[in-house]
Amino acid sequence: MKQALKITLLLIALVTSIALAADKLTVKQLQKEATKFDAKEVTLVGKVDKFQQKTSKAGNDYFVFKLVDKDDKKSTVNIYGQGKLEKPPKDGDSVELKGTYRVEKKIGNSTYKNELQVKPDQIKILGSAK
């Protein structure tokens, strides 16, 4: 009985880890099926480009950058987050991000396309730029 329980728990752990790994997308994969992921939470991996930490006219901190596919430099996603990062990524850093993807988002008179909205704690630096 104990052996069957151990095997069951191991199988559950294996299936869960495979499912979690499968949920990570590259930027290129996201762009191939952008409408499928519209308004959904996704986990992306890629490289940071043009990171900027800013403060709005109203005094609110935010950050923006492009996430570039590691194999296809033409595939990018715009990243937006509110708040300030204690350890901001550098251009070229490999990162993993979790956030809500939008093919198109309208706020007032502005339209934002191909954007992943993240929170500061949803950014994990996987490797430093070389």
* 37 part of a folded domain: yes
Q: How many domains does the chain have?
A: 1
- Return the structure tokens found at 110: 């502005």
Residue span of the structural domain in which 86 resides: 24-127
Bridge partners (DSSP) of residue 112 are: 105
* 11 part of a folded domain: no
Closest CA to 53 of 27, 102, 89, 77: 89
Q: Beta strand 94-107 with 41-55: parallel, antiparallel or unpaired?
A: antiparallel
Please provide the average confidence, as pLDDT, over all residues in the chain.
89
Contact 66, 77 (CB under 8 A): yes
In this prediction, residue 1 carries a pLDDT of: 64
In this prediction, residue 49 carries a pLDDT of: 98
Name the E strands within 16-90: 24-26, 41-55, 61-68, 76-82
Assign residue 114 the CATH number of its domain: 2.40.50.140
* 55 part of a folded domain: yes
Rounded-to-integer distance, Cα 114 and Cα 61, Å: 21
pTM of the model: 0.81
* 32 part of a folded domain: yes
Flag residues of the chain having pLDDT under 70. 1-2, 4-22, 130
Closest CA to 27 of 98, 75, 63: 75
Rounded-to-integer distance, Cα 78 and Cα 94, Å: 15
* 3 part of a folded domain: no
